Structure 1
Amino acid sequence: MTHVAMIVLSFYPADPRVRREAETLERQGISVDVICMRGPDEKKVEEIGRIKVYRVIKGSNKENMVKYLLLSTKFMIISFAVLCYLSFKKRYKLIQAHNMPDYLIFTGIIHKIIGVPLILDLHDLTVELFETKWGRHKRILNSLVKFAEKISCGFANEIITTSTGFKERLIERGITANKITLVLNSADHYIFKFNPQREFHKIQKDLRLLYHGTVTKRFGLTTVIEAVAQLQDTIPETTLEIYGKYDDSYREELYEKINSLGINDHIILGGYLSLEEISLKIEHSHIGIVPYLSDPFMNLALSTKTFEYVAM
């Protein structure tokens, strides 16, 4: 049997891109090992069909830059050790590292030496995302982050990324174009299925809005909350449901905004839901919202949720 290993500083099966890629390989009869973080109540080791998940450290908030760097370094070291250990039992044909951070690709350094190809899957561009999240440290970080991206991309045999804007920016920074493959964050058609019986009518009351995914400032949800307050005059009882993983400080900002507008009964700040649960929420909502703010990162990004809303 063919064996593939994936390394990601995220959660499985919560990360939709990693899950879809792993399940696609599984359907082709390929065994997949995923090395990732562990969320509350998750098992350290879990088998899901031919996919075996190794949750090597507890997940923590990535909002603080120093904590993020410490977490990613710790995860990289442990993942390298786990990958080497697993390699005594399995002969991996491919190692795939998912960013962020880009330098997770170096967990496969031993495999690279012995001829196993490495793929770097760039979900996001670290240079632009760091500038957006921690711009106040730009002088310190910019050169280091660009250097990390350059050596990581150079070390990988192949690169996958998620939007045309990302690909073009990588080429501008000197990455060879024929080394980059574009794989969009499209909806998983095994989960997000269009209901041909669904009916569409003019909405004059009880408009149901939905947002799911990462909940942080760059996704513009304070603007949507303000819009929900204004819509009460034209479409009474408009509601908004938000589900996902929050930056703690931004969650407090959302609560303050909701309270100041007096629309507590019209907003639900929910937690993380599985993809299957999200598909049910989409089915019972009228409009899915993707309210990106304009910044160096978001102007290049292409959201998975856009495709998921369209699919249903």
Structure 2
Amino acid sequence: MQFLQPNKSKMHAILMIVDGYYPADIRVRKEAESLALKHNVFVLCCRKENDQKVEIIKNVTVLREIFYKSFTEKGLIDMRLAINFVHPKFHKILPEMINKNNIDVIHVHDLPLAKTGFFAAKKYHLKSVLDLHENYAAALLTWFSWRKNPVIRLKNKIFFNHKRWQDYENRIIKKYDRIIAVVEEMKDRIVTDTAIDESKITVITNSEKKDFVANFDATENSFFKDHKDQFIISYVGGFGPHRGLQTAIEGMKDVSKQIPNALLALIGPANNDVKSYLENLIDEFNVRENVVIYGSQPFKKVVKIMQSSDVNIIPHISNLHTESTIPHKLFQILLSKKPLLVSNCAPLERVVKSNDIGTIFKAGQAESFSKEIIKVYNNYETAMQKAANGFELAYNGDLNWEFTEKKLLHLYENLES
């Protein structure tokens, strides 16, 4: 294997570790590319069968050393990880990656790899950064609640127990030199739960790069050309229980009475359990004519969906998970220049309300959802003005990655202090 020789003029040699694919993870990619402006950055990640093992992408050296032979092997390793919180594949390869690339900082992405990364940092006397993308322990309460398979439900109950993972997070956080939180609300929760010095925590949110705006091409035809006379309400993203799609579907019952041509478009991946659950809701609330599930779409179509919708929604329900995270799509929608409706989960409400860039409804309340959709429809000029505010802040203000990355670079400039 060939390794990139470190650039001695740069400050740190950083090894990011992520149990996923690169550059597929948006957050990991943005952070790695920004840090590569001033540091030597390596990303140790997973490999698909035809991927290159070593590749340099925008000055980031990608080391695809983790390979799962099958979905079953991945599941078995996840269960093994859940027993002692050490990932066997990453644990085995880390010494070689650290030594051959002269690593001096371990940057761990998300809670499952935290102990594995810390063991390596401690053994080799490296600085350590734990990057928490979300409240992982709280997410465990939500992710699997729609799954019906009794074996899967039993496995998750035993190996992915919320309290056990929350206790683990509280312990491991204290061992790291620096913590990255995705929103201010997560930072506050960590300080409350662990009593660590808040100066150790830096908030790096999921803002978008300004050049994302280039994806919106006004000359292309609308994604919804078959529904050109309808008022399009779009949701783009995951279909998990915490996403609030059930609220939006129920809300369409009242929306359709006031706006007969309204159409709720749901775009995203859905397994059979989830799709069956949502289809049953559509029939229960008798909104078959006003709701359509498109499933996953290519990225180029996703941005066109945002741009050709009359309003884009983020209807998250309120729980421990959603109250301390924020989705990338919030900032992407702002760059689409189209109206935004979000639930009042704390991070969403704070960003939207303080900047007057969208409309807010009460999380989990279908009546509130329908009321605000109807208000947007009847006051569309006002909704478009808020969308214009959002674009201005996302492009020329502080709601973009160019602003956020300054905090990330500052963290590393002061890592030794």
TM-score in same-fold range (> 0.5): yes
Q: In the TM superposition, what is the alpha-carbon distance from 1:277 to its structure 2 partner?
A: 4.9
For 1:176 and 1:285, locate their aligned partners in 2 and report how far apart those are by CA, in whole Å. Answer: 44
Q: Which residue of 1 aligns with 2:198?
A: 177
Name the aligned partner's letter for residue 152 of structure 1: I
Give per-residue Cα distances to partners, 1:9-30, cap 9 Å, x unaligned.
333333221121122223x164
- Tell me whether 294-303 or 158-167 shows the greater mean CA deviation: 294-303
Give the deviation of 1:180 after TM superposition: 0.7
Provide the rounded CA distance (Å) in 2 between the counterparts of 1:285 and 1:55. Answer: 41
**SS of residue in 1 equivalent to 2:315:** coil
Matched residue type, 2:99: F
Task: Provide the C-alpha distance between the structure 1 equivalents of 2:301 and 2:32, rounded to a whole number of angstroms.
Answer: 20
1:295 is aligned, of 304, 309, 319, to: 319
Aligned partner of 2:174 in structure 1 is 154
The number of equivalent residue pairs is 299
Give the structure with the larger strand fraction. 1
Matched, 1:267 2:267: no
Normalising by the residue count of structure 2, what TM-score does the alignment of the two structures yield? 0.61
The amino acid that maps onto 2:294 is L
Superposed, 1:33-182 pairs within 5 Å as 33-38=42-47, 43=51, 45=53, 47=55, 48-51=57-60, 52-54=62-64, 56-58=66-68, 68-70=78-80, 76-101=87-112, 103-133=113-143, 141=161, 143-173=163-193, 174-182=195-203
Measured after TM superposition, the shift of residue 7 of structure 1 is 1.6
Deviations, residues 235-269 of structure 1 (Å, cap 9, x unaligned):
34433333344455223212333355362784133
Give the alignment partner of residue 304 of structure 1, picking from 323, 328, 343.
328
Q: Would you say the 8 A contact 2:191–2:198 is kept in 1? A: yes
Deviation (angstroms), 1:78:
0.7
State the partner residue of 2:29: 19
Indicate how the Cα distance of structure 1 residues 196 and 247 shifts in structure 2: closer, same or farther if over 3 A, else same. closer
Name which of 224, 242, 266 aligns with 2:266. 242
| Aligned 8 A contact 1:219 1:293 in 2 | yes
Whether the 8 Å contact between 1:132 and 1:296 is mirrored in structure 2 is no
Distance 2:102 2:266 in 1: 43
Deviates more, 1:175-184 or 1:66-75: 66-75
Other structure's SS at 1:95 match:
strand
**Which residue in 2 is equivalent to 1:201?**
none
Taking a change above 3 Å as real, the CA distance of residues 13 and 229 of structure 1, as seen in their structure-2 partners, is: farther
Residues 56, 75 of structure 1: 8 Å contact kept: no
Q: 1:256–1:31: structure 2 CA closer, same or farther, 3 Å change rule?
A: farther
Question: What SS does structure 1 have at the residue aligned with 2:319?
Answer: coil
Does the Cα contact within 8 Å between 2:243 and 2:316 map onto a contact in 1?
yes
Task: Find the aligned partners of 2:54 and 2:247 in 1 and give their Cα distance.
Answer: 40
Alpha-carbon spacing, 1:209–1:93, altered in 2? closer, same or farther (3 Å)? farther
State the distance in 2 between where 1:99 and 1:187 align. Answer: 20
Per the TM alignment, residue 84 of structure 1 is displaced from its structure 2 partner at its CA by 2.1
Call closer, same or farther: CA 1:126–1:268 in 2, change over 3 Å: closer
Task: Describe the shift of the 1:126–1:116 C-alpha distance in structure 2 as closer, same or farther (beyond 3 A).
Answer: same
Contact 2:94–2:120, Cα closer than 8 Å, also in 1? no
Q: 1:200-233 deviations in whole A, cap 9, x for unaligned?
A: xxxx941222222322011111222233454344
Secondary structure at the counterpart of residue 215 of structure 1: coil
C-alpha distance in structure 2 between counterparts of 1:45 and 1:259, whole Å: 48
Moved more, 4-13 or 29-38: 29-38
Specify the code of the residue in structure 1 equivalent to 2:53.
Answer: V
Cα deviation digits, residues 24-47 of structure 1 (max 9, x gap): 223x164433233456x7626362
Aligned to 1:206: 230
Task: Please say if residues 212 and 332 of structure 2, whose CA atoms lie closer than 8 Å, have aligned partners that are also in contact.
Answer: no
- Aligned partner letter, 1:172: T
Q: Which structure has the larger Rg over C-alpha atoms?
A: 2
Report the alpha carbon displacement of residue 154 of structure 1 after superposing the two structures with TM.
Answer: 1.8
- Secondary structure in structure 2 of the residue aligned to 1:155: coil
The residue type equivalent to 2:59 in the other structure is R
For the aligned residues, what is the CA RMSD?
Answer: 3.6
TM-score scaled to structure 1, two decimals? Answer: 0.79
Structure 1: distance between partners of 2:38 and 2:107: 17
User: For residues 196 and 216 of structure 1, do their structure 2 counterparts lie closer, same or farther at Cα, with a shift above 3 Å needed?
Assistant: closer
CA distance in 2 between partners of 1:155 and 1:21 (Å): 22
- Change beyond 3 A, Cα 1:77–1:248: farther
Q: Which deviates the most, 236-245 or 121-130? A: 236-245
Q: Look up the match of 1:191.
A: 212
User: For 1:29 and 1:273, how far apart are their aligned partners in 2?
Assistant: 33
| Structure with the largest fraction of helix | 2
Change (3 A) 1:264 1:93: farther
Measured in 2, the distance between the counterparts of 1:255 and 1:68 equals 31
Specify which structure has the bigger relative contact order, considering alpha-carbon pairs within 8 angstroms and separated by 6 or more residues.
1
Structure 2: 5+ residue stretches without partners: 1-6, 146-152, 220-227, 337-417
